[in-house]
Amino acid sequence: MYTISDLSQEFNLTTRTIRYYEELGLLKPQRTESGNRLYTKKHYAQLKLVLRGKRFGFSLEEIKEMVLLFDYDRTGEKQLERTVEYGSQKLEELNQRLKELNEIKAEIENLLGDFTEKLDSIRSVKR
């Protein structure tokens, strides 16, 4: 079992962030009689998936759907189907952004080449 402080330190998150994930329904910790939160290995794994999803650019709603689907289908099939669907969409978005970034990079390289030639031309006239 983990406390909120344990998870906070383990994942380098604020306790407020973990409570926010709880408010969104991403985590549903048990409570002690005194009201303290207790997290299981399952919660630990879910939090790890949430952070991975954020790193990959998924929205918290998408992450929630993917993470919680396992609770509704213990085979994992539905979770994997949704993850593949969202992952494919995300990969397409990334490929599009990479294409755009490569076009911008080529444009900047061309401009820098032109500017360098002009600068060299100006400098050679001065000599």
pTM: 0.74
Counting every residue written for the chain, the total comes to 127
pLDDT at res. 12: 96
Cα dihedral 93→96→102→105 (10° resolution): -70
By three-state DSSP, how is residue 31 classified?
strand
Q: What are 29's two structure tokens? A: 């910790």
Distance CA 91, CA 76 (A): 22
CATH of the domain at 71: 1.10.1660.10
The whole domain housing 34 covers: 4-126
Q: How many CB atoms lie within 10 A of CB 109?
A: 10
Tens of pLDDT, residues 55-105: 999 999 999 998 888 778 888 888 899 999 999 999 999 999 999 999 999
Could you give the number of structural domains in the chain?
1
